[in-house]
């Protein structure tokens, strides 16, 4: 028992990017289904009262067993779940362990309600696949912000699965390539293209999208964590992104992406033209930032998408490694070099 709480399609055309904006707007205006799980009826009442004016369809479950039954009955019908950690019988973590074994349910974004945000609890939650947290007691505005961020992730996963099923498999033959992206739309498109060339495509697409967008937004356009928080709070984040992309000081900046396939792994190297940052603060979910609606992309990419993620230099270059035929846990014994080679160098090798 717990205390009562007080993107874009994957085709490289302007028309496709325009349609992506329309598609995204339509999805945001469509009612998203959220599963609320708590053994206390009063807690469920609070959640419903706080969320009732939002464009969500709210479904309630009174324990872990009931929640699992609802999820298994409709594996692709929910966009997010708000889950109480401490429940009799099947706890929140127990429910998550069942979900991780289901290929359809393991992607569902979960907002974990917990009485304390200790590093140990957060670590256990991340291990179980949780990247969104609510520390009790919480207020309505915080709940709305965190749930909205989780629903956005749910919509993102659904777009990834749908668009991957529509892509040609010919890209799986790609051996090496070098690409430049300048906008968020191009970053999304390239993530789909390269992800489709990798095993576990949906995981790789998710991670590449996060890291490529970081290169555009935080690297080339210079939008820091605090500034993004303020822009999101004022509802002007997307507008500011579009504004900066067209400014003279940013218009020629690109994110350089190198794709290299080796015998046992794939390496993707992403380099932006920004001033760099201290990536160490973002490799794990920081207890000081768990109540923010952003800032977890690197940690999620590292945990979900790649065999290895390594930042280099001043932080404006990141190398992602995807194993292709090795058992989980084994090191990639490939030709991956400490300093990524250019396409020209690969041709001469």
DSSP letter string, 208-250: HHHHHHHIIIIIIS---HHHHHHHHHHT-HHHHHHHHHTSTTT
Query: Can you give the residue ranges of every domain in the chain?
Result: 14-160, 174-348
Select from 177, 210, 173 the least CA-distant residue to 191.
210
**Averaged pLDDT for residues 200-215:** 92
Residue 286 DSSP SS3: coil
pLDDT given for residue 168 in this prediction: 61
Structure tokens at 295: 């800032």
Calculated CA dihedral for residues 204, 72, 154, 297, nearest 10 degrees: -50
pTM for this prediction: 0.68
pLDDT given for residue 11 in this prediction: 33
pLDDT given for residue 35 in this prediction: 95
In CATH, what number does 14-160 get?
3.40.50.2300
Edge-to-edge strand ranges of the sheet holding 265-271? 176-181, 255-261, 265-271, 317-323, 308-312
In CATH, what number does 174-348 get?
3.30.565.10
What's the alpha-carbon Rg for the chain, to the nearest Å? 20
Going by pLDDT thresholds of 50, 70 and 90, the confidence category of residue 220 is: very high
Residue 7 DSSP SS3: coil
For 125-159, the pLDDT digits (tens) are: 777 778 788 887 788 888 898 898 889 888 888 88
The whole-chain average pLDDT of the chain stands at 81
For 75-119, the pLDDT digits (tens) are: 778 999 999 988 999 999 999 999 988 878 888 999 988 776 666
| pLDDT top residue among 126 and 202 | 202
Q: Kindly tell me if the per-residue pLDDT of 63 is higher than 70.
A: yes
């Amino acid at each position: 028992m717990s205390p009562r709480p007080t993107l874009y399609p994957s085709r490289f055309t302007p028309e496709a990017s325009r349609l992506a904006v329309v598609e995204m707007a339509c999805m945001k205006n469509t009612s998203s289904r959220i599963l609320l799980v708590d053994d206390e009826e009063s807690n469920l009442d609070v959640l419903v009262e706080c969320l009732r004016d939002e464009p969500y369809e709210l479904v309630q479950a009174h324990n872990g067993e009931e929640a699992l039954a609802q999820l298994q009955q409709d594996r692709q019908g929910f966009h997010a779940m708000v889950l109480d950690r401490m429940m009799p019988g099947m706890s929140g973590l127990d429910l998550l362990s069942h979900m991780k074994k289901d290929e359809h349910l393991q992607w569902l974004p979960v907002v974990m309600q917990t009485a304390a945000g200790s590093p140990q609890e957060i670590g256990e939650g991340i291990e179980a696949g949780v990247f969104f947290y609510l520390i009790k007691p919480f207020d309505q505005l915080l709940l709305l912000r965190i749930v909205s961020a989780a629903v956005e992730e749910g919509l993102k996963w659904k777009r990834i699965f749908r668009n991957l099923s529509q892509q040609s498999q010919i890209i799986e033959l790609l051996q090496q390539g070098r690409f430049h992206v300048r906008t968020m739309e191009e970053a999304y498109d390239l993530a789909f293209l390269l992800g489709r060339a990798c095993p576990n495509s949906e995981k790789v697409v998710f991670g590449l999208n996060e890291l490529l967008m970081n290169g555009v937004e935080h690297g080339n356009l210079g939008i820091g964590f605090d500034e993004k928080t303020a822009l999101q709070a004022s509802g002007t984040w997307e507008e500011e992104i579009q504004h900066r992309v067209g400014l003279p000081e940013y218009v020629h900046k690109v994110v350089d992406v190198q794709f290299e396939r080796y015998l046992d792994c794939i390496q993707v190297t992403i380099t932006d033209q920004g001033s760099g940052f201290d990536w160490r603060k973002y490799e794990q979910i920081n207890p000081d930032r768990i109540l923010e609606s952003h800032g977890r992309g690197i940690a999620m990419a590292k945990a979900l998408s790649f065999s290895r993620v390594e930042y280099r230099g001043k932080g404006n270059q990141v190398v992602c490694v995807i194993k292709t035929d090795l058992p989980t846990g084994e090191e990639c014994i490939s030709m991956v070099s400490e300093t990524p080679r250019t396409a020209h160098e690969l041709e001469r090798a």
